[in-house]
Amino acid sequence: MTDEEATAEGLTAEDAFGLLGNELRAEIMRVLGESPHEGLSFSELRTRVDEGVDSGQFNYHLQKLVGPFVENTDDGYVLRAPGLALYRAIRSGAFNRRVTVEPFDAGFDCYFCSTPVEASYDDGSFRLVCPGCDHLFASTMLPPSAVSEADETELLARVDQYNRHQMLVASRGVCPICVNPMELEFVPSEEVWSEGSERLDVFVHWGCDHCGRQQYMTVGLALLYHPALISFFYEHGVDLTSVNHWELEFVLSDEHTTVRSRDPWEVAVAVTLEGLTLELVVDEELNVIETNRY
């Protein structure tokens, strides 16, 4: 196989990272990534990377990247899609920075003990934890670029959007990582091993056979984008698509969830606003089979 025919798909992860283990090659990727839609000629690329480097040596390293990550087009050298994805991952700091954000007030009280919940970030993981009873409300992997220089309120709003969209795509049966189908299963809380899971009654579990992604969520969270729920909130002046989802009790606790049957599963979630209640009942495939207002 020549370099021209090599593809990123044909590389092992070790090969791919190995290719970037050289400073000059990493710099070529950076320069091409900075102007993803502009083809660069050999000499222009070399000038931007390092004018002082020997042309033969430069070409040797450039050709290692052509195929897997870089394409030599009629307009010049450009990053291929896998190269651009890698460039963006590196830019996000996922591989090369450790950032910590000390715990700060997340803006809502624990649904189990009423202590103000704290948000924090360390080593790639954003967490919402109650300091009163240690309940873990959320744990999300985020790149360091998400939190550096962030205003706390604004950071919470961004994490909410990111989180809920990851959950939404999973709740529609699509893996947020590899975009394969996910399998749905209702799991009683006693079968879920995680801190505080016993405080809920039932979880919706999504699993991806392809990449191994596992996702647990409450029935309330799985229903977050149901049109009846969105319009119910809208009628009460609340945009359900932009309120931080951890501020919604029906999303993070099972206080308003009733398991009607376990075989087959039938679960009701009731939400009350200004004295009016909307109740959604789902079957074991998460289809809403009943909508009640009272």
- Residues near Zn ion (CB under 5 A): 110, 112-113, 115, 130, 132-133, 135, 175, 177-178, 180, 208, 210-211, 213
Q: Which C-beta is closer to Zn ion: that of 115 or that of 291?
A: 115
The CA-CA-CA angle for residues 10, 12, 18, to 5°, reads: 115
Enter the tokens of residue 16.
Answer: 């791919």
| Least gap, CB of 262 to Zn ion (angstroms) | 28
Q: Which C-beta is closer to Zn ion: that of 141 or that of 178?
A: 178
Q: Which C-beta is closer to Zn ion: that of 81 or that of 133?
A: 133
Q: Which C-beta is closer to Zn ion: that of 9 or that of 239?
A: 9
> CA-CA distance, 284 to 268, in Å (whole number)?
11
Q: Which C-beta is closer to Zn ion: that of 114 or that of 148?
A: 114
3-state secondary structure of 22: coil
Long-range contacts made by residues 13-16, C-beta under 8 angstroms, separation at least 24? 15/68, 16/68, 16/86
| Least gap, CB of 58 to Zn ion (angstroms) | 38
| Least gap, CB of 135 to Zn ion (angstroms) | 5
| Least gap, CB of 4 to Zn ion (angstroms) | 31
> CA-CA distance, 115 to 118, in Å (whole number)?
9
Q: Is the peptide bond before 143 cis (omega within 30 degrees of 0)?
A: no
| Least gap, CB of 180 to Zn ion (angstroms) | 5
> CA-CA distance, 18 to 5, in Å (whole number)?
19
Q: Which C-beta is closer to Zn ion: that of 108 or that of 203?
A: 108
β-sheet with 214-217: strand ranges across:
183-188, 202-207, 214-217
- What DSSP character marks residue 254? S
| Least gap, CB of 246 to Zn ion (angstroms) | 13
| C-alpha distances out from residue 46 to 29, 53, 78, 137, 279, Å | 12, 8, 13, 50, 64
